[in-house]
Copies of this chain bind each other. A is one copy, B any other.
Amino acid sequence: MSLVQPRTLPGALELLPREQIAFQRLLDTIRATYERFGFLPIETPVMELTEVLLTKEGGETERQVYFAQSTGDREAGREPELALRFDLTVPLARYVAQYEHQLAFPFRRYQIQRVYRGERAQRGRFREFYQCDIDIVGKDELPVRFDAELPAVIYSLFTELGFGGFRIQINNRKLLRGVLAALGIAEGEPQTLVLREVDKLDKRGPEYLRDTLRERFSLGDDIIGRLLAFVGTRSTSYAHARGLLADLERDLAHPLLAQGAAELREVLDRLVDFGVPDSHVCLNFAIARGLDYYTGTVYETILTDHPEIGSVCSGGRYDDLASHYTKSRLPGVGLSIGATRLFWQLRELGLYKDAESTVQVLVALMDESLLGPALQLATRLRAAGIAVEAQLEAAKLAKQLKYADRAGIRFVALLGSDELAKGVVSVKDMQRGTQFEVAADELAATLEVEIAQARAMAGVPRA
């Protein structure tokens, strides 16, 4: 029989177990934080009916869709009725519309699942990747104060993740549009095109933006100057942010600007209530996001030690989530973390070391005759809630210690015939390089204390 070369599709991130453990801890932390803020879990099928999924005008997104079809339907020459979701927002819209009368609004949901895009194969581009979304969806209306809850979640999350400094950048599209209107840039298409360029400021720099505005939009130097000064503004504290908004309203007058400024002030006030410090929030007037989808508050989050990664968590306020599926008006606000890309990038930067194993204790086996007592020991430890790998084949101690070291297992429990006779177990702490002996009956309790201490030191939450 000829062998098939084992390989995955390009653009899928498949991990070795120790990497998977690290990635799983990232997802677990995200989930625990989302739950701590009262978001409820949902999951939706990977495949949606094409008619439901592809309601919007196709364009770039539709070209990247994976269609799916069973063997039978293919053979019958049918068009594919199924497609893989390309984000979690369309499935959320479908879900909320479908179960509208069974859900309580405002509906806070989190969803941590994979999405699929037929991207061109390229390093760092993924065709399958995890998105970790939170959204709050209101019925008929959703007061702007809700827009402050999402950055509060993100502050708590990135503090706990410990990737170093980060900053949640906030803007408001009404404010942006008001400013553009006040500067004489017409609503609709012209504003949309200008905003698309403004959104690139942090990547391309002010010179690029100045040249583009001059050449493509024929704006006068005065307008360009004022626009550049505006979109280049960043707040450094809540007080500074409020001052910037007041200055803006004094210098330029437009109802949309005033509304956007009022919304931003409300968000800032509530962020103070949520205990989010100045240091981690700033107004960044260059952030526009996805153009027409968002209608008010928009967010991006950068890791200040690694700004080259770009935004690690983005989202904003939208007016109506599910207009394709229901006549009900469902305004909302949401945020998404691309966990696969984030993990991959942090790993590329060397920030993700191999994780400590999920296995907490290796019960070694030095002599075949001791298999029974070793398994009984493993069973007692497991009954105490400790994650134990039992060696089922006798091997030299050095080999078993080397295995534990490579696998990232912290404790090795040794039960030789001497120990068995004395009613004790020897424990090697691979992390500290120490060894101690403990009565067999007390081993579980002793290790529980050690593990709880290590967890407390690492700041791992309890539940």
**Interface of A with B (CB < 8 Å)?**
1, 3-9, 12, 14-17, 20-21, 24, 35-38, 40-49, 51-52, 55, 62-74, 80-82, 84, 93-95, 97-99, 102-104, 106, 108-109, 114, 116, 118, 128, 143, 145-146, 149, 152, 156, 270, 273-275, 322-327, 357-359, 362, 371-372, 375-376, 378-379, 382-383, 385-390, 392-393, 403, 406-407, 455, 461-463
A/B interface sample: 21 pairs, CB < 8 A: A4-B52, A6-B325, A6-B326, A12-B45, A16-B99, A17-B41, A20-B42, A35-B359, A36-B382, A36-B388, A38-B390, A40-B358, A64-B71, A66-B82, A67-B69, A104-B403, A104-B407, A275-B379, A385-B462, A385-B463, A463-B463
Q: Is the CB of B37 within 8 A of A382?
A: yes
Q: Is the CB of B55 within 8 A of A65?
A: no
Q: Is the CB of A15 within 8 A of B37?
A: no
Q: In the complex, how many angstroms separate the beta carbon of A162 from the nearest chain B beta carbon?
A: 16
- With a CB–CB cut-off of 8 A, which chain B residues contact A116? 46-47
CA–CA, A24 to B112, complex, Å?
A: 12
- Give the top 4 A-B pairs by smallest Cβ distance, nearest first: A38-B389, A70-B118, A273-B375, A12-B45
Decide yes or no: A389 and B145 within 8 Å by CB, A41-B24, A62-B71, A323-B1 being known contacts.
Answer: no
Q: Contacting A388 at CB < 8 Å: which of B7, B38, B82?
A: B38
Q: In the complex, how many angstroms separate the beta carbon of A278 from the nearest chain B beta carbon?
A: 16
Decide if the interface of chain A is mainly helix, strand, loop or mixed.
mixed
Q: In the complex, how many angstroms separate the beta carbon of A319 from the nearest chain B beta carbon?
A: 15
Q: Is the CB of A40 within 8 A of B359?
A: yes
Q: Is the CB of B108 within 8 A of A4?
A: no
**Copies of the protein in its oligomer:** 2
Q: In the complex, how many angstroms separate the beta carbon of A96 from the nearest chain B beta carbon?
A: 8
Q: Is the CB of B55 within 8 A of A4?
A: yes
Q: Contacting A145 at CB < 8 Å: which of B69, B72, B118, B371?
A: B371
Q: Is the CB of B94 within 8 A of A6?
A: yes
CA–CA, A385 to B459, complex, Å?
A: 11
Q: Is the CB of B128 within 8 A of A35?
A: no
Q: Is the CB of A44 within 8 A of B97?
A: no
CA–CA, A9 to B358, complex, Å?
A: 36
- With a CB–CB cut-off of 8 A, which chain B residues contact A40? 17, 20-21, 357-359
CA–CA, A322 to B5, complex, Å?
A: 11
CA–CA, A103 to B80, complex, Å?
A: 39
Q: Is the CB of A69 within 8 A of B70?
A: no
CA–CA, A108 to B393, complex, Å?
A: 14
Q: Contacting A359 at CB < 8 Å: which of B38, B65, B98, B407?
A: B38
Q: In the complex, how many angstroms separate the beta carbon of A305 from the nearest chain B beta carbon?
A: 24
